[in-house]
């Protein structure tokens, strides 16, 4: 039954996507609003199909219906309820099903949001684009990523359950869905960018439509990346949170280009500049989500995140190539209308700083992309395997990060068009003092080394600039000085500064040691007494947990190792003592064979690490404030249905 219902839902989604796109195309060609409206309604049919398929998969997992091959390979009667639900996105086919559900949800919301504006060709072509993307993912689920293949289980069969790393931390239930909300959400601004190119409506209207959609997607992607780093820190037991893994990089790439777009869009709205650049950034962000899916799901790389090899890789690569060719062709076609009137008057201007900011983000993305795909290129062309490790990424990205922090401080104080040196000196006085003060505090706290000290100085420079902006805004507007694009953006900047301080301190001054301890033995680590107090074995439904009690000063930590019954795999479960100044994490590397045997533990101390998570939440909060209008408009502009009115577009 689950097989039939799930497969039927996917077929309905594919049929609705194709029919909806063809109906709207016919309505556009024949200028018939009734057909456009009818076509838009198929968005809800597509969403209903994906909802039915998702229900069927969850029902199959909950009831342990091993006649569904996906459940037979990933499910188990031993899997706890929460992780059983999350099993849907713990492997290839289920993750594509989640992607389809999220995409169908965005499609339905866009259709509802613009239901009264379907006579506008831009809205129609945006919906057509989203329908076609939805149709592609539905085809994937009918073809190489079919989650509803049949299986004939023998009597008494029980599945292995998901990867043990995906069933020992609660964030498995939140990190992938939130990340997908960001990943898939960039389809909306991409669709309107394509619609703007097709209709020739290349003014600022499509930017107004996509601003909040982009902010929401960017905020979800930011939050998803932070949750993923937190998950890695809590589970893997090596004291790290970011390993420059190819799949981690795949999520970072669209974040970088999306961040660049959120900055450069201000230049086009204010001065009408960077039109080609903004279209390219939006389309690149969408393309990088497809490329990231290819890297994650094709099986071409070995990664703790990547899924096993299947036939999905060529499909994603062909789709990526097709979209890239279409976008390039559209930009060349509209080249005459994409020319900006005028240019940047001075490098010492806000638009000049934003352009430099974009170049920095572009360079950052190129460095990450090159390091990620270079091993694949070498393997494909020379038939040999190489690896690009963390030293490359850290060496190449660190100076770019410093440039970005510097521009974060300078750009907000610059006026549009041109700034005088006296004005610039006056506005940068307090940020400069803030940077100097942070440098002095770092030295007094014991920080050493040119690179981290430069990082602390630039972070203080950028943070004080954001605080200056907010103080001036609050003086003028009271509590509303915290809302709006500019003010919310400064709060995002503060979050970035907090995160940067955590990254610099925790990676530059990490201390790590391993100890073999007998019961009751005490050792010294970073000025604290570390004592092995006791051990116990706990039997769970799906695993056996070997837990020890370690006393650090007056605190007690209980790291463990868990042996999963179905696979026999050992998974560490470290524990962490967190404070505002430092984290001490204890991981159990070798459990005792019995109560009297010795253990091996690894202890890691990292200063200011908690500020990575705090900064991430502040960035999320700031992005939400950025979506709130800074002041109310009594008469918002309506949709223009005249293709010649390039600057009067849709107000979303």
DSSP, residue by residue, 624-641: HHHTS-SS--SS------
Q: Give yes or no for a contact between 525 and 540, defined as CB atoms under 8 angstroms apart.
A: no
What is the pLDDT, as a whole number, of residue 637? 40
What is the pLDDT, as a whole number, of residue 14? 97
What is the pLDDT, as a whole number, of residue 342? 65
Task: State the DSSP H helix or E strand holding residue 223, giving kind and residue range, or none if neither.
Answer: helix 205-235
What is the pLDDT, as a whole number, of residue 584? 92
What is the pLDDT, as a whole number, of residue 383? 80
Select from 493, 477, 488 the least CA-distant residue to 434. Answer: 493
Q: Helix crossing, 187-199 with 205-235: angle to 10°? A: 160
Q: Helix crossing, 275-297 with 205-235: angle to 10°? A: 30
What is the pLDDT, as a whole number, of residue 631? 62
What is the pLDDT, as a whole number, of residue 647? 39
Q: How far is CA 194 from CA 128, 566, 644, in A?
A: 10, 49, 17
Angle in degrees, CA 156, 157, 162, rounded to 5: 145
What is the pLDDT, as a whole number, of residue 201? 87
What is the pLDDT, as a whole number, of residue 221? 96
Sign of CA dihedral 212, 217, 219, 220: positive
What is the separation of C-alpha 638 from the centre of its chain, rounded to a whole number of angstroms? 33
Q: Give yes or no for a contact between 628 and 484, defined as CB atoms under 8 angstroms apart.
A: yes
What is the pLDDT, as a whole number, of residue 49? 97
Helix (H/G/I), strand (E/B), else coil: 652: coil
| Residue 212 neighbours by CB under 8 Å, 6+ apart | 627, 652
Sign of CA dihedral 627, 632, 637, 638: positive
What token pair was written down for 186?
């960039």
Q: What letters, b where the CB count within 10 A reaches 16 and e where it falls short, cover 81-104?
A: eebbebbbbbbbbbbbbbbbbbbb
What is the pLDDT, as a whole number, of residue 649? 39
Length of the chain: 652
Classify residue 199 by burial, with Cβ atoms within 10 Å: 0-12, 13-18, 19+: buried
Residues 499, 59: Cα–Cα separation, whole Å: 40
Give 292's Cβ-side CA count (13 Å radius): 25
Residues 542, 528: Cα–Cα separation, whole Å: 36
Q: What is the mean pLDDT of each run of 10 residues along the chain (652 residues)?
A: 95 97 94 92 97 96 94 90 91 93 97 91 95 97 94 90 86 93 96 94 84 94 94 82 88 95 86 85 95 79 52 89 95 80 73 90 95 84 82 92 94 80 84 94 92 94 94 88 88 96 93 91 88 90 88 89 84 90 91 81 93 96 88 44 40 38
What is the pLDDT, as a whole number, of residue 483? 87
| Residue 201 neighbours by CB under 8 Å, 6+ apart | 121, 122, 195, 643, 646, 649
Select from 136, 124, 127, 68 the least CA-distant residue to 100. Answer: 136
What is the pLDDT, as a whole number, of residue 639? 40
Q: How far is CA 347 from CA 353, 362, 363, in A?
A: 7, 18, 19
Select from 236, 75, 259 the least CA-distant residue to 169. Answer: 236
Q: Give yes or no for a contact between 522 and 484, defined as CB atoms under 8 angstroms apart.
A: no
């Amino acid at each position: 039954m689950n097989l039939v219902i799930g497969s039927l839902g996917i077929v309905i989604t594919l049929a609705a996507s194709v029919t909806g796109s063809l109906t709207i195309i016919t309505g556009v060609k024949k200028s018939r609003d009734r057909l456009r409206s009818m076509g838009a309604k198929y968005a809800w049919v597509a969403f209903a199909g994906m909802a039915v398929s998702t229900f069927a998969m969850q029902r199959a997992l909950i009831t342990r219906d091993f006649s569904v091959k996906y459940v037979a390979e990933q499910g188990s009667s031993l899997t706890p309820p929460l992780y059983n639900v999350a099993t849907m996105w713990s492997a290839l086919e289920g993750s594509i099903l989640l992607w389809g559900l999220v995409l169908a949800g965005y499609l339905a919301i866009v259709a509802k949001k613009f239901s009264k504006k379907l006579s506008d060709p831009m809205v129609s072509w945006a919906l057509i684009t989203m329908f076609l993307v939805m149709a592609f993912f539905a085809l994937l689920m009918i073809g190489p990523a079919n989650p509803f293949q049949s299986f004939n289980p023998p009597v008494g069969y029980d599945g292995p359950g998901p990867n043990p790393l995906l069933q020992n931390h609660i964030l498995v239930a939140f990190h992938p869905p939130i990340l997908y909300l960001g990943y898939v959400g960039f389809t909306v601004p991409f669709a309107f960018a394509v619609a703007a190119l097709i209709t020739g409506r290349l003014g600022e209207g499509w930017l107004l439509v996509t601003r909040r959609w982009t902010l929401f997607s960017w905020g979800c992607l930011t939050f998803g990346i932070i949750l993923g780093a937190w998950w890695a820190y809590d589970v893997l037991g090596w004291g790290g949170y970011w390993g420059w893994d190819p799949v981690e990089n795949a999520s970072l790439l669209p974040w970088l280009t999306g961040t660049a777009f959120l900055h450069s869009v201000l230049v086009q709205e204010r001065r009408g500049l960077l039109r080609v650049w903004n279209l390219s950034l939006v389309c690149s962000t969408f393309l990088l989500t497809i490329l990231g899916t290819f890297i994650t799901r094709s099986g071409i790389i070995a990664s703790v995140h990547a899924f096993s090899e299947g036939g999905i890789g060529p499909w994603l690569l062909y789709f990526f190539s097709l979209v890239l060719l279409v976008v390039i062709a559209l930009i060349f076609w509209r080249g005459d209308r994409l020319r900006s009137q005028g240019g940047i008057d001075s490098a010492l201007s806000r638009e000049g700083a934003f352009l430099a900011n974009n170049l920095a983000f572009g360079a950052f993305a190129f460095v990450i992309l090159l390091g990620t795909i270079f091993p694949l290129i070498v393997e494909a062309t020379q038939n040999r395997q190489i690896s690009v490790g963390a030293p490359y990424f850290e060496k190449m990205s660190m100076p770019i990060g410093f440039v970005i922090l510097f521009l974060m401080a300078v750009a907000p104080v610059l006026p549009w068009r041109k700034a005088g040196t006296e004005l610039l000196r006056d506005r940068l006085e307090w940020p400069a003092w803030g940077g100097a003060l942070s440098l002095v505090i770092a030295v007094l706290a014991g920080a050493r080394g040119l690179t981290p000290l430069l990082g602390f100085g630039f972070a203080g420079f950028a943070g004080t600039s954001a605080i200056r902006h907010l103080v001036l805004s609050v003086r003028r507007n009271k509590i509303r000085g915290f809302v709006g694009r500019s003010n919310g953006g400064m709060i995002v900047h503060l979050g970035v500064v907090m995160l940067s301080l955590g990254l610099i301190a925790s990676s530059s001054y990490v201390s790590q040691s391993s100890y073999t301890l007998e019961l009751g033995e005490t050792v010294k680590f970073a000025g604290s007494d570390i004592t092995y107090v006791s051990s116990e074995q706990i039997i769970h439904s799906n695993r056996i947990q070997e837990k020890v009690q370690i006393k650090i000063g007056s605190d007690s930590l209980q790291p463990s190792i868990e042996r999963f019954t179905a696979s026999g795999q050992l998974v560490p479960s470290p524990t962490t003592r967190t404070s505002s100044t430092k984290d001490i994490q204890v991981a159990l590397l070798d459990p005792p064979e019995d109560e009297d045997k010795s253990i091996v533990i690894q202890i890691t101390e990292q200063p200011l690490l908690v500020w990575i998570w705090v900064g991430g939440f502040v960035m999320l909060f700031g992005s939400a404030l950025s979506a709130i209008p800074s002041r109310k408009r009594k008469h918002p502009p309506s949709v223009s249905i005249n293709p010649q009115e390039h600057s009067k577009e849709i107000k979303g």
